[in-house]
Copies of this chain bind each other. A is one copy, B any other.
Amino acid sequence: MISFSSTRFLLGPILAGLALLMLAPCVVAFYYDSPDLEAFLISEAATAGAALLLVISGRRQSVHLRLRDMFLLTSMSWLMICVFGALPFILSHTVSSFTDAIFESVSAVTTTGSTVLTGLDTMPRDILLWRSMMQWLGGLGIIALGAAVLPFLSIGGMRLFNTESSDLSEKALPHTRRILNRLLQVYVFISILCAICYNLAGMTVFDAINHAMTTVSTGGFSTHDSSIAYFDSRLIELVAVVFMLLAAVPFMLYLPVMLGRRSGLFSDSQVQSMVAIYLTVSTVLAIWLILTGQLNMFSAFRESSFNVISIATTTGFASTDYVNWGSFAAMTFFFLTFVGGCSGSTSGGIKIFRFKIAAIMLRETLQRLLHPNAVFSRSMQGRPLTDEIVASVMAFSLVFATIVGIAAMLLTAAGNDVLTSFSAAATTMSNVGPGIGDVIGPTGNFASLTAESKWVLCVTMLLGRLEIFTMLLLLTPAFWRA
């Protein structure tokens, strides 16, 4: 049986956290005498009230989470934050429809960064801040999930990262709590560092704070319609590149540094592969841009590396409209959409370790053709790569592709062209943000899509963010059977 009561009780504090964060835009709205103040105050009251109600209606004494409860709790907490986070958008009339409010909110909390808003440059600061804060919260949530919940659920090969910290038994709880606390500290520290760097590089304090939050969460919302291109600053782009990369690394690797120990950051095989992949793609694309005479050498490497890292880390900032670089570049960015960063980071996508496992498996398959009876031993990150983990990774990739396909079909049925549909499905599923093509490219916008399209994309954003199976399982009858 699923313990709805425990679930409710635990959702309370999560919603209370959201209410706490929402105080910030309230203060900003008050300070700038914004017309949105009322909208934020009502949202604040509603969120805080709902949090209180959940805590009261849930039972405290039996907070004993079983496997099913954790799936439900994870999905419900994300859904709830999306709904309550959308309140300010609706109440302030920033968007014209309920659909748009939910889309913007889901896009924020899942750190996707696709937007239906235009005119960001003249938008009230409270709204801009709220969008950025929701991305930041979404990033924090996914780090916590990756450290404490997903490895335990053994979703998509994440059991590979099942260390003692992911043991959620009564006994291990204090240890898990300690780890999560340290991760929070690291996340806050990197965010502050990023904001300071952006400010030193020339951003205003407000822009620096907002972009720091959306960089560290690999979300990619900006306070300007033209994104990072607005600043036209090499230095700001450099800061963005550094912090996007830092955010795409497993945050667990920062913990030894905090304790004054040597970090395994550069010796981590996943991080090494990530850097190698990003470097290779950036270089190939830069050479292509030079050879086709589109950019000079310096600009080619600058634009190529920024945009490759932005898309691959699933951040989605744009420094230029790469759709104009021709179909080879468009195809490159389409495939980059799927790559993602490391597990345990804020980035989405299929993620580097799954590509590594796929490569190991492919090599083994080729060897087996020549030596059908040989026995192979596999390991990764110093741990044995069991058949179960490999199967789980394969199932994940397969379902990922299948859902992108189904979503693309639904999007064509909703009236979009083939390329937009494909790209929109992929970019939301990977929580990247911009796609390819005229409509949803880096200078495009999701506003013009039909309401049906937006709802499809809300589903893919959530599925992608929660490693698919967390939500997918809730749709199976077996889950609800006693």
A366-B473, A370-B479 known; A398-B394 Cβ under 8 A: yes
Q: Are B409 and A335 within 8 A (Cβ)?
A: yes
Chain B min CB distance to A409 (Å): 5
CA distance A369 to B398 in the complex (A): 16
Task: Determine whether A358 belongs to the interface, using a CB cutoff of 8 Å to chain B.
Answer: yes
Distance to closest chain B CB from A11 (angstroms): 21
Interface string of A374-408 (1 = CB under 8 A from B): 00000000000001101110110111010001001
Q: Which of B367, B372, B436 contacts A418 (CB 8 A)?
A: B436
Chain B CB within 8 A of A136 CB: no
In the bound complex, what is the Cα–Cα distance between A97 and B153 (angstroms)? Answer: 58
Instruction: Name the distance in Å between A56's Cβ and chain B's nearest Cβ.
Output: 30
Question: Given B154, B366, B479, which contacts A472 in the complex, CB threshold below 8 Å?
Answer: B366
The answer to whether A1 has its CB under 8 Å from any CB of chain B is no
Contact digits for A320-336, partner B, Cβ 8 Å, 1 yes 0 no: 00000011101110110
Tell me, yes or no, whether A68 is within 8 Å of chain B by CB: yes
C-alpha gap A58/B71 in the complex (Å): 65
Bound together, the chains give a CA A135 to CA B141 distance in angstroms of 57
Q: Is the CB of A328 within 8 A of B395?
A: no
Give, as a whole number of angstroms, the nearest-CB distance from A29 to chain B.
Answer: 43
Known: A387-B387, A390-B391. A469 touches B366 (CB 8 A): yes
Complexed CA–CA distance, A155 and B368 (Å) = 10
The residues in A between 406 and 460 inclusive whose CB is less than 8 angstroms from any CB of B are 408-409, 412-413, 415-419, 421-422, 436
Q: Is A259 an interface residue (CB 8 A)?
A: no
Task: Map CB proximity to B onto A466-482 as digits: 1 under 8 Å, 0 otherwise.
Answer: 00010011001011000
Residue from the set A328, A387, A392 with the largest chain B CB neighbour count within 10 Å = A328
Contact assessment for B327 and A366 in the assembled complex, using a CB-CB cutoff below 8 Å = no
Docked-complex contact B327 and A418, CB < 8 angstroms:
yes
* Residues of the B chain whose Cβ atoms lie less than 8 Å from the Cβ of A235: none
Is the CB–CB distance between B368 and A154 below 8 Å? yes
Is the pair B398, A391 in contact by a Cβ cutoff of 8 Å?
A: no
Q: Are B469 and A412 touching (Cβ within 8 A)?
A: no
Chain A residues 144-170 with CB under 8 Å of chain B are 153-155
User: What B residues does A409 contact at CB under 8 A?
Assistant: 328, 331-332, 335
Say whether, besides A387-B387, A391-B387, A398-B397, A473 and B436 are in contact (CB < 8 Å).
no
User: Which single residue of chain B is at the shortest CB-CB distance from A292?
Assistant: B413
| Interface residue count on the A side (C-beta < 8 Å) | 55
| Copies of chain A in the complex | 2
Residues from chain B with Cβ under 8 Å of A415 in the complex: 327
User: Closest residue to A71 on the B side, CB-wise?
Assistant: B369
Interfacial chain B residues near A367, Cβ < 8 Å:
478
Chain B residues within 8 Å of A200, by CB = none
- A351 CB to nearest B CB, Å: 15
Of the candidates B362, B372, B399, B472, the one whose C-beta lies within 8 Å of that of A398 is: B362
Which residues of chain A from 196 to 226 have a CB within 8 Å of any chain B CB?
Answer: none
Would you give the 0/1 interface string for A298-332, flagging 1 where the beta carbon is closer than 8 Å to chain B? 00000000000000000000000000001110111
List A232-265 residues whose CB lies under 8 Å from chain B.
none
**Complex contact A391–B365 (CB within 8 A):** yes
Which of B361, B369, B387 is within 8 Å of A473, CB to CB?
B369
- Report the separation of the CA atoms of residues A462 and B409 in the bound assembly, to the nearest whole angstrom: 29
Chain B residue contacts of A358, Cβ below 8 A: 398
Known: A409-B332, A416-B327. A476 touches B387 (CB 8 A): no
Q: Within 8 Å CB of A369, what residues of B?
A: 67, 71, 153-155, 469, 473
A361 touches B154 (CB 8 A): no
Most buried by B among A327, A334, A398, A408: A327
Interface flag for A278 (CB, 8 Å): no
Q: Is A30 an interface residue (CB 8 A)?
A: no
- With A331-B418, A334-B418, A421-B327: A392-B405 Cβ-Cβ less than 8 Å: no
Of listed A68, A367, A391, A472, residue having the most chain B CB within 10 A: A391
- Which residue of chain B lies nearest to A159 when distances are taken between CB atoms in the complex? B372
11 pairs, A vs B, C-beta closer than 8 Å: A67-B369, A67-B370, A327-B421, A328-B413, A331-B418, A334-B418, A335-B409, A362-B395, A368-B392, A390-B391, A391-B394
Given A331-B412, A366-B473, A370-B473, 6 further pairs, Cβ under 8 A: A71-B369, A327-B412, A361-B391, A368-B392, A387-B387, A418-B419
